[in-house]
Structure 1
Amino acid sequence: MRLKPLLPALAVLASTVLALPAIAADTSGTGEPAFRALYKELVETNTAPGEGSCTLAAQRMQARLKAAGYTDADIHLFIPDSAPKDGGIVAVLRGTGSKKKAILLLAHIDVVAAKRSDWTRDPFTLIEEGGYFYGRGTSDDKAQAAIWTDLLIRLKQEGYRPKRDIKMALTCGEETEGVFNGAHWLSTEHKDWIDADFALNEGANGQLDETGRKIALNIEAAEKVYQDFKLETTNPGGHSSRPVPENAIYQMSTALPKIGALEFPVMLNDATRAYFTRMAPIVGGESGAAMLAIVKNPMDSAANAILSKNPQWHSMLRTTCVATLIEGGHALNALPQHVSANVNCRIFPGVSVDDVQAALVRAVADPAVKVSVVEPRSLATPAPALGPDILGPIEKVSAELWPGVPVVPTMTTGATDGIYTSAAGIPTYGVEGLFVDPDEGHIHGLNERVGVQSLMDARRFMYRLVKLYAAQ
């Protein structure tokens, strides 16, 4: 893809540098006032699809990095020709020449749309109230984007020289289908900018109970692959006054319950084995015992039945497929000529799209129902290995900050931009250090929020963690 010349962007950048907000004096020595100012600027830069601009947010982060001493050689600001509002930024703090490849810090800066009339507060004004920050993107994912940018600035100001390069990529397009996705573009067109030994990304939070007690720090070590399939039935049609047995609606209505009854086999990987093993003593009781049993024997039907009562655990144990949309017919007084349905599958890492399609065809068992693949969203990549070189530093820093809180690897049943970097050969892990309430901070919903102390603790966690990795 050809990128737009950056002269207009640099003009905006120059004005942005001059407009950087004043920063309160820091008497703590932690840089928290500067971080709060950066976070506020990022949250208050509207990056929702259509009305907002990721490019402006990237330019503002570039201005801060350059003010801290990063040069043009350290920064790639990219603005797609086809989507001038969907730009992003890659920056690097260069190491001293370790043979180990870089660490990549990945975050998306686009957010889900938010209507002011629906919110209690202005979604694009950062508001601190009752121990929380409110605003669209306060958690997903501008918390991490702000922490990464602040981290690079702090390390530069400290004169810190890591053994290995530390790279950062802030991208657009994660929240919206069918738009320019910066992580995908970088992974396929400019992998050299982001190439790394591994990447840290969003994907898993720490869990709080209803009283605010920390239950576990989750680490995303795998994620499912999103894939849609289209089911279609066609028929010659005719006048509704002369019905015939072959009816496209009836054929589809027979096929869909078979999809609903389709149960894929139990599968485990490093992430889910660790999850069920470490969650068993936390959950306890019958479910805890079932977790240990399924790890010991994935074919244990009794354990499977117990765990599958929980929709999250059921989904973590297998590929799942579900009908999500249906449309058909063309007139009230005519026999239907065409009916289609969308079946959304979340595929267990390492399982091929072709195998899932074949399973759907076998389940339907009707040649009159065509099953096709909707444009693939991502490659079916295996889960990255979760060795002590990755998990050890996380456990060390977590024990220092939150003694007694278990670190629990997990597999997200959704998807992040990690699907693209992992497919490009950069193992990607969801590590945030951000503890959230049981309501998950209303992510994607109204009045999104994050705990102020939780955000500051996550900043401390990431600062220590990245330094440990950088010193390897």
Structure 2
Amino acid sequence: MGLKSVLLAVTSALALGFLTFSGTARAADDGEPAFRALFKELVETNTAPGVGSCTLAAQRMETRLKAAGFTDADLHLFIPESAPNDGGLVATLKGTGSKKKPILLLAHIDVVAARREDWTRDPFTLFEEDGQFYGRGVADDKGQAAIFTDLLIRYKREGYKPKRDIKLALTCGEETEGVFNGAKWLSETHKDWIDAAFALNEGSYGVDDASGKHVSFDVEAAEKVYQDFTLQTTNPGGHSSRPRPDNAIYDMADALKAISAYEFPVKLNDATREYFTRMAPIAGGADGTAMRDIVANPQDAAADAQLSKDPAWHSMLRTTCVATLIEGGHAVNALPQSVKADVNCRIFPGTSVAEVQQALATAINNPKVALSLNGAPSPATPAPALGRDILGPIETAVAEVYPGVPVLPTMEVGASDGIYTTAAGIPTYGLYGFFEGPDEGNIHGLNEHVGVQSLMEGRRFFHKLVKLYADQ
């Protein structure tokens, strides 16, 4: 290799973070400088809807994987014709031929919009201050996307040969409704690229208290299904000086009050049953007693009432539906002719959208109120089984990286792209691997942040965990 070629190679390596600035071919200890460079590039690639490009972020991660030795045969860069900025990437680290199906690492690279004038710092520049990383997506979900991408690069450079294939999918569209969703598209169109025994995805954080002490390491072992419904009432209307008993606003008000008063029945699955069992001694007192009682008897009304004082626990125990938008009327001096409202439901895993719609219709009990789906029905995704083959390696890795911290399986009351992979037959579990305090890193809000040490510990955690799974 000539001098010019050597200089070009060194320059390229420096740009990708593979060499230190001294020019030596070492990456300090476990390659943290290279990880920091990758993380910085990913955060500083704007992937917000409408103004950013997931495709560019995916292409940049593809470049890094190729520099580490991944071939074209190992990589699938996909760019939808209908949404050229919403591309994604699938990468595979080949195993040694185990008959066990691969492991899938799933992370979304799109982020919620962020306006520079609202933030203390530029949201699309990575800042490190007072032990925190700041930037849009550092916690949701580019921290994990960077860890997963770096993990494959690190394994490749270590010469690690897993027994089973390890797959990575970086996708767009998780944060925005009604756009091209890469995880959904892959699950429905190219499942062969991502097919796996199970997937690890975003979901639950480790929980820190206000002092920064680790309280629990939460693992999302189930998640609710998101579904919107539209309620509509109509009326001939008329002059407001001549009111009449049938009024579109009153009909809607009655319907929404009926939904507010309706409680879906308590249900438990592997995730919530294990959560309340393990949380009971931590919570103690009346809450701890109620947790033990609800596990023993899901129909225990007293236990339900005690736990439902906490909105998070109330949501973990059942399907919930709540009014979120309303519009109606056309003039201040006219009887309303039409009123429309949105009811947002978070459906307990395994419950069909049709069941929920019927329950709402029964609660409303008024033929004047039209109830319809807002958008396509979400899949009635069942809760994945939570066996020792999944939970055991997590407990082992936590004991090594976070000794003494209890592992709590839980159910995500929101929703993620895991609904698509689970519906496609790839059981999906959510864990970030790092910890957040009571403000949860201010995800989706101003000045989103994640602890520097916490992110590095999460990187160490996944390096251990994925090897445990890959060598099963």
1:235-254 counterparts in 2 under 5 A?
Answer: 235-254=235-254
Given that residues 17 and 64 in structure 1 are in contact (C-alpha distance below 8 angstroms), is that contact kept between their aligned partners in structure 2? no
> Is 1:413 the equivalent of 2:413?
yes
Instruction: Supply the AA of the counterpart residue of 1:231.
Output: L
Query: C-alpha displacement at 1:27, in angstroms?
Result: 6.1
Instruction: State the partner residue of 2:89.
Output: 89
Instruction: Supply the AA of the counterpart residue of 2:68.
Output: A
State the identity %.
72
- Structure 2 counterpart SS, 1:408: strand
Instruction: State the partner residue of 2:4.
Output: none
Give TM-score, length-normalised by structure 2. 0.95
> Is 1:152 the equivalent of 2:152?
yes
Instruction: Supply the AA of the counterpart residue of 1:205.
Output: Y
Instruction: Supply the AA of the counterpart residue of 1:179.
Output: V
Give, in whole Å, the separation in 2 of the partners of 1:131 and 1:392: 31
Query: C-alpha displacement at 1:375, in angstroms?
Result: 1.5
Give, in whole Å, the separation in 1 of the partners of 2:150 and 2:113: 25
- Structure 1 counterpart SS, 2:80: coil
1:209-358 counterparts in 2 under 5 A?
Answer: 209-358=209-358
Give, in whole Å, the separation in 1 of the partners of 2:455 and 2:377: 32
Task: Compute the RMSD of aligned alpha carbons.
Answer: 1.4
Query: C-alpha displacement at 1:344, in angstroms?
Result: 0.5
* Structure 2 unaligned spans of 5+: 1-10
Instruction: State the partner residue of 1:447.
Output: 447
Given that residues 379 and 419 in structure 1 are in contact (C-alpha distance below 8 angstroms), is that contact kept between their aligned partners in structure 2? yes
Give, in whole Å, the separation in 2 of the partners of 1:295 and 1:407: 18
Instruction: State the partner residue of 2:196.
Output: 196
Give, in whole Å, the separation in 2 of the partners of 1:379 and 1:366: 28
Given that residues 46 and 124 in structure 1 are in contact (C-alpha distance below 8 angstroms), is that contact kept between their aligned partners in structure 2? yes
Give, in whole Å, the separation in 2 of the partners of 1:30 and 1:21: 13
Query: C-alpha displacement at 1:319, in angstroms?
Result: 0.4
Given that residues 433 and 458 in structure 1 are in contact (C-alpha distance below 8 angstroms), is that contact kept between their aligned partners in structure 2? yes
Instruction: Supply the AA of the counterpart residue of 1:65.
Output: L
Instruction: Supply the AA of the counterpart residue of 1:161.
Output: K
- Structure 1 counterpart SS, 2:432: coil
Given that residues 94 and 166 in structure 1 are in contact (C-alpha distance below 8 angstroms), is that contact kept between their aligned partners in structure 2? yes
Instruction: Supply the AA of the counterpart residue of 2:433.
Output: G
> Is 1:402 the equivalent of 2:399?
no
Change (3 A) 1:22 1:34: closer
Query: C-alpha displacement at 1:301, in angstroms?
Result: 0.9
Q: Deviations over 1:76-103 (max 9, x none)?
A: 0000101111000000001111111010
Query: C-alpha displacement at 1:29, in angstroms?
Result: 2.3
Give, in whole Å, the separation in 1 of the partners of 2:179 and 2:141: 18
Instruction: Supply the AA of the counterpart residue of 1:120.
Output: T
Instruction: State the partner residue of 1:207.
Output: 207
Instruction: Supply the AA of the counterpart residue of 1:176.
Output: T
Given that residues 101 and 196 in structure 1 are in contact (C-alpha distance below 8 angstroms), is that contact kept between their aligned partners in structure 2? yes
Given that residues 18 and 27 in structure 2 are in contact (C-alpha distance below 8 angstroms), is that contact kept between their aligned partners in structure 1? no
- Structure 2 counterpart SS, 1:227: strand
Given that residues 16 and 63 in structure 1 are in contact (C-alpha distance below 8 angstroms), is that contact kept between their aligned partners in structure 2? no
> Is 1:375 the equivalent of 2:403?
no
Most deviating of 284-293 and 233-242: 233-242
- Structure 2 counterpart SS, 1:205: strand
Query: C-alpha displacement at 1:334, in angstroms?
Result: 2.1
Query: C-alpha displacement at 1:403, in angstroms?
Result: 1.5
Instruction: State the partner residue of 2:5.
Output: none
Give, in whole Å, the separation in 2 of the partners of 1:265 and 1:155: 47
Q: Deviations over 1:112-162 (max 9, x none)?
A: 011111111111111111011011111100011000000000111112111
Q: Deviations over 1:294-343 (max 9, x none)?
A: 10111111111110000000000000000111111122222211111111
Q: Deviations over 1:161-181 (max 9, x none)?
A: 111110000000000111110
- Structure 2 counterpart SS, 1:188: helix
Give, in whole Å, the separation in 2 of the partners of 1:17 and 1:48: 28
Given that residues 54 and 88 in structure 2 are in contact (C-alpha distance below 8 angstroms), is that contact kept between their aligned partners in structure 1? yes
Give, in whole Å, the separation in 1 of the partners of 2:18 and 2:431: 31
Give, in whole Å, the separation in 2 of the partners of 1:389 and 1:408: 16
Aligned residues: 458
Query: C-alpha displacement at 1:17, in angstroms?
Result: 8.9
1:27-66 counterparts in 2 under 5 A?
Answer: 28-66=28-66
Given that residues 127 and 135 in structure 2 are in contact (C-alpha distance below 8 angstroms), is that contact kept between their aligned partners in structure 1? yes
Query: C-alpha displacement at 1:370, in angstroms?
Result: 1.1
Q: Deviations over 1:412-441 (max 9, x none)?
A: 000010010000000000022111111101
Given that residues 432 and 462 in structure 1 are in contact (C-alpha distance below 8 angstroms), is that contact kept between their aligned partners in structure 2? no
Instruction: Supply the AA of the counterpart residue of 1:416.
Output: S
Given that residues 108 and 142 in structure 2 are in contact (C-alpha distance below 8 angstroms), is that contact kept between their aligned partners in structure 1? yes
Give, in whole Å, the separation in 1 of the partners of 2:235 and 2:65: 61
Give, in whole Å, the separation in 1 of the partners of 2:27 and 2:127: 23
Given that residues 224 and 411 in structure 1 are in contact (C-alpha distance below 8 angstroms), is that contact kept between their aligned partners in structure 2? yes
Instruction: Supply the AA of the counterpart residue of 2:287.
Output: S
Give TM-score, length-normalised by structure 1. 0.95
